[in-house]
Chains A and B, each alone.
Chain A
């Protein structure tokens, strides 16, 4: 069964048809997301253990985090997820120029998130609230919150690295979209990067209350 449609150039011949190819790509991405969930899951386990063993330390330490900045970043990431979804939607209805603009918007929101995190991190560096053996901050209220900051930097740091990787992927997609290399028949890379980006948003949805909203 041959189809004289635009996506023929993207159809690899070891697949039966374009739909099977798209299914394979998506299954592969979902399996990768499974490994990502377990990667961050390991850190969530560490968080759970240390928080259950040191509940007061976590409660006191979280006051050093700026809840407003955290909430702002949550809104920023949710909006970036929206623009990512709308980029895919635009390709589905054959509006590649609009999709390009939505991808750029997603990139800008991601950059905004990182800028806020930069301010948060530099404030902590200034106070000496650093991870591991670089920690020099004297705790207040009788507890030394070194463990809290260690876990905070590991989890938000790994998450931040994923944001940076996502930004690179989104930029790559934007360039390809602008060159009209995607169409309603073929936009699988955009969908898969979208899945990755939504996972980054998902992880932050849990990080925010666990670090910024304790008690």
Chain B
């Protein structure tokens, strides 16, 4: 048997769970503080930390064949590209009205 059969001690699982609980409390508490647009950023940042803990330790990615981590990271990257590219389009849709107006200005 190879070293890949790493068994995580129960205590480590409990520590990770405690960290996840604390982060949940943090994210709820921060939501009551008005940070404007920054609230979303903080909420997603905390969620990402929690997700990383679950992926690395509960899902065993830290100890396993790196190929599994690669597959997971690729999924996240594809999703990020998906969202970012679409937002470039969605957030600039109003520009066409300014463009149309500037054209009318030229014609008159």
Contact = CB atoms under 8 A, between A and B. Distances in A.
Interface of A: 19, 23, 26-27, 30-31, 33-34, 37-38, 41-42, 44-45, 48-49, 52-53, 67, 71, 74-75, 78-79, 81-82, 84-86, 89, 92-93, 191, 194-195, 198-199, 201-202, 205-206, 208-210, 213-215
Interface of B: 1-2, 4-5, 7-8, 10, 13-14, 17, 20-21, 24, 27-28, 31, 34, 39-40, 43-44, 46-47, 50-51, 54-55, 58-60, 64-65, 67-68, 71-72, 74-76, 78-79, 82-83, 86-87, 90-91
Contacts of B59: 194-195, 198-199
A75 B20 CA distance: 9
Given A89-B10, A201-B54, A210-B43, A49 B31 contact: no
Interface of B is mostly: helix
Given A44-B79, A198-B59, A206-B47, A52 B90 contact: yes
B65 A78 contact: no
B26 to A, nearest CB: 11
B13 A30 contact: no
Contacts of B51: 202, 205-206
A71 B24 contact: yes
Contact of B71 (A34, A41, A71, A215): A34
Given A75-B24, A209-B44, A48 B87 contact: yes
A85 B24 contact: no
B4 A30 contact: no
Nearest to A59: B39
A30 B1 CA distance: 22
A41 B55 CA distance: 17
A33 B54 CA distance: 14
B24 A78 contact: yes
Contacts of B10: 86, 89
A53 B93 CA distance: 11
B31 A82 contact: no
A205 B43 contact: no
B28 A19 contact: no
B43 A52 contact: no
Contacts of B39: 213-215
B28 A67 contact: yes
- Give the 3 A-B CB pairs with smallest separation, nearest first: A213-B31, A209-B43, A34-B75
A110 B12 CA distance: 23
5 contacts: A19-B4, A27-B71, A30-B71, A205-B47, A206-B47
